Structure 1
Amino acid sequence: MITPMRSSRPTVSVVVPIYNVERYLRICVDSLLRQTLPSMEIILVDDGSPDSSGRIADELAAEHDCVKTVHQQNGGLGPARNTGIEHASGEYVGFVDSDDWVDPDMFKGLYDAAKRRHADIVFGGHKDMVNGKVNTVKSHPLAGMTLTTKSQILDIRERLFGHLPDDAEIEAFPMRVWTGIYRNDFLKEHCLRFKAILSEDTIFNLSAYQQAQVISFTDGTAYCYRMDNQPSIMRTFSAKKLKQYEGFIDELFHIAEQDPRRERCLLRAKRMAIDYCRLYVGLIAGGRLSWRQQLVETKRLTSSEMFHKYCRDYPMDKLPRQQRLFHEALLKNGLNTALLLLHMRQLLKKRIWK
């Protein structure tokens, strides 16, 4: 069911994929309804949610002319966003996860920058939120810059593959789509769509950066990323997750191999593979598994094709000290040590958040 929309073209279409978010959906949509940018549309894509999210979405669409709902069978985050893109009529398209929210000036800031710079894409920063309070403010590292040449854009695009061995920074380069907006005609012209894959934002942005003529970055941090204890596909352990990680890393390497800067991009992708190994063991350590089960799952990782193909010949001496100790433990089959390091890291994180 699709609710009717007015005929004039909206400024920004905000796509909100929905799945099991009945607790958060109204908060998310209320923040979009309070935007200072006029003439926006909000597209709620009910991805076959088994809770009451779909009903709430219909109620919101009935209450507000700028909201429309689309219901579909469950297909995952990427396909839900694609459905939203297909129904978007705005000049620009943005994405907001349905358990997050945004400050009132977010889309005005992005849209004004896009029009001022004639940009295909504009990105800002975000805030990590814990229990409704700001935990960390993360400005975009390129805030205030505008990339207007292919060389400039490709220099930055390379960073989406991951860190180089000598990179000093620890934080990954921002890859999420929800801090930005994309020119709708640009998306359509280049048939830019999400793949049904884990970390779909990175793969999507690799294509978007490749095609863009102008990319601008603002100093805004108006996106509020919820970091409470709600379930997350990226933070919940599942035995299927290893195959999903391998699928993403394989796709990343496939793209890197076709890049004109092949060797550098492949080296960055190897670092990404190492980071995903650490993330996977972190999920194991944070799951409700016995110690024996944790060892079994960690062994499954070190026996995987991803680990052997992409992680074994990386220059270990270039990794930050803690990461080097962890990865050396995996390489030497010191699974107990690797797990203990991850458990210690998680305990420290919990203390910081308290």
Structure 2
Amino acid sequence: MNPKVSIIVPVYNVERYLDRCVQSLMNQTLKEIEIILVDDGSPDKCPQMCDEYAKNDYRVKVIHKNNAGLGMACNSGIEIVKGDYIAFCDSDDYVDVKMYEAMYKAALEHHADVVFTGIQTVDENGVVRPMSQPSQKAVLTQRKQIEAYLLNMVASEPSATNDRDIQMSAKVVLYKREMIEKYHLRFESERVYISEDLIWHIDVLAHASCVCLLPETFYYYYCNTTSLSKKVRTDRFPFFKSLHDEILHRCRNYGISDEIKLRADRLLIGYTRSDLKRVFNSLELSFKQKRELMVLVCEDAVLGNIFKTYPIQVMTLKHRIVLYLMKYKCYLLLNLLFRLS
């Protein structure tokens, strides 16, 4: 069988959720698929589970490798795919059984290099909440259209209420294998760049000739709202800056619009604001620790240059207030604002 779609599934420490994910893939209405399970050195029973799936369904292929992270696991899958199109699925998530048939048909109908769909969350109680999906069906073939879509994926314009309206997840997208192979597109490690899916999509959209937006949602992104294991990290700001710099570097190399500077700045602003809010609402850290982090961030040279040039005055009121308090280092007021919001 020549598979129409290859679905790459990085697997690590998800034995509780893996069967739900794999069953949703094996039961797809599009039967001509291959499912590539990449065991990323999982310490639980996942390696054995993967092998068992392969024994029971000839469409399942298994890669066992040393742990190197999500992005590298996806790359390992790309190396062996046989399908005309490639998709990715996280192993603690699951999908509607019609997902890949709908995306594949859209790709064929429009000769698309990429097909984007929506994403929704599902919690441990099965409660589903929408996140984002294309507002209407569209086929983008002009370079300016594709670049505009990419800009909105990086971040919104300064006056927009939301930091971003277009999701960046690679798990809800179908990619033409011919394009991936022709330009040797691969993921960066999430251990180097936070939001490695965004870097991936910069590379993809820089080379795509036809992009299809499908106003449907098939993907269930699992959010465990009761987990007590999520510790607040205080080391994320340098990663935000690295991502900001890499976005600018890649987009300029691809000759993408000068407006990318404004969007990348908004991305850094939004990530930093959201992270500081998490830190200041944490019960794990003392006020002294929170203030030290705030000083480190607000006195950073990169952020300082953005404060000088970014049109803060056109932002929505709540965002404008936070930015001015950060710019003028009003730490006590920032603390109060974050605690109240």
Task: Give the superposition deviation at 1:168.
Answer: 5.4
Q: Which residue of 2 aligns with 1:155?
A: 148
Show the counterpart of 1:321.
317
- The answer on 1:113 being equivalent to 2:109 is no
Q: 1:186 to 1:261 in 2, by over 3 A?
A: closer
**Residue 138 (structure 1) shift:** 3.8
Contact kept, 8 Å, 2:120 with 2:130, in 1: the verdict is yes
Deviations 1:152-192 (A, max 9, x none): 22222222332222345554322111111101111001111
Structure 1 stretch displaced more, 167-176 or 148-157: 167-176
Normalising by the residue count of structure 2, what TM-score does the alignment of the two structures yield? 0.90
> Partner of 1:285 in structure 2?
280
Work out whether 1:243 is the aligned partner of 2:238.
Answer: yes
Alignment of 1:167-316 (within 5 A): 167=160, 169-196=162-189, 197-229=193-225, 237-258=232-253, 260=255, 262-285=257-280, 287=282, 288-316=284-312
Aligned to 2:119: 126
Q: Of 22, 38, 42, which residue of structure 1 is paired with 2:15?
A: 22
**Do the aligned residues in 1 keep the contact of 2:154 with 2:264 (CA within 8 Å)?**
yes
Q: Secondary structure at the match of 2:220?
A: strand
- Between stretches 156-165 and 267-276, larger displacement belongs to 156-165
Structure 2 Cα separation of the partners of residues 111 and 212 of structure 1: 16
Asked if the contact 1:329–1:337 (Cα under 8 Å) also holds between the matched residues in 2, the reply is yes
Residue by residue, what CA displacement relative to the aligned partner does 1:56-110 show, whole Å, maximum 9, x if unpaired? 2222222322212111122111111111111211111111111111111111111
TM-score (norm 1): 0.87
In 2, the alpha carbon distance for the partners of 1:317 and 1:202 equals: 27
Query: Alpha-carbon deviation of 1:199?
Result: 0.6
Quote the sequence identity (%). Answer: 31
- Superposition deviation, residue 236 in structure 1: 5.1
- 2:60 corresponds in structure 1 to 67
Contact 1:41/1:66 (8 A) holds in 2: yes
Q: 5+ unaligned residues in a row in structure 1: which ranges?
A: 1-7, 346-354
User: Are 1:332 and 2:313 matched, yes or no?
Assistant: no
Alignment CA distance shift 1:182-1:334 (3 Å)? same
Distance 2:149 2:321 in 1: 29
Q: 2:96 aligns with which of 98, 103, 108?
A: 103
Aligned residue identity for 1:266: K
Q: How far does residue 261 in structure 1 lie from its aligned partner after superposition?
A: 5.1
Distance 1:342 1:185 in 2: 47
Does structure 1 conserve the Cα–Cα contact (< 8 Å) formed by 2:154 and 2:164? no
Of residues 169-178 and 197-206 in structure 1, the stretch that sits farther from structure 2 once superposed is: 169-178
Query: In structure 1, what residue type is equivalent to 2:154?
Result: F
In the TM superposition, what whole-angstrom CA distance separates every residue of 1:22-51 from its partner, at most 9, and x where no partner exists? 221111111111211111111111222223
Contact (CA 8 Å) 2:5, 2:34: kept in 1 or not? yes
Contact 2:132 2:166 in 1 (8 A): no
Structure 2 CA distance for partners of 1:269 and 1:63, relative to 1, 3 Å: same
d(CA) in 2 for partners of 1:252 and 1:179? 21
Shift of 1:262: 4.2
> Unpaired segments of 5 or more residues in structure 2?
none
Q: How many residues align?
A: 337
AA paired with 2:151? E
Amino acid at match of 2:262: L
Question: Could you tell me how far 1:319 is from its partner in structure 2?
Answer: 1.7
> Closer, same or farther in 2 for the Cα pair 1:262/1:130, shift >3 Å?
same
Aligned to 1:146: 139
Q: Contact (CA 8 Å) 2:5, 2:32: kept in 1 or not? A: yes
Give distance in 2, aligned partners of 1:305 and 1:330: 13
Q: State which drifts further: 334-343 or 83-92.
A: 334-343
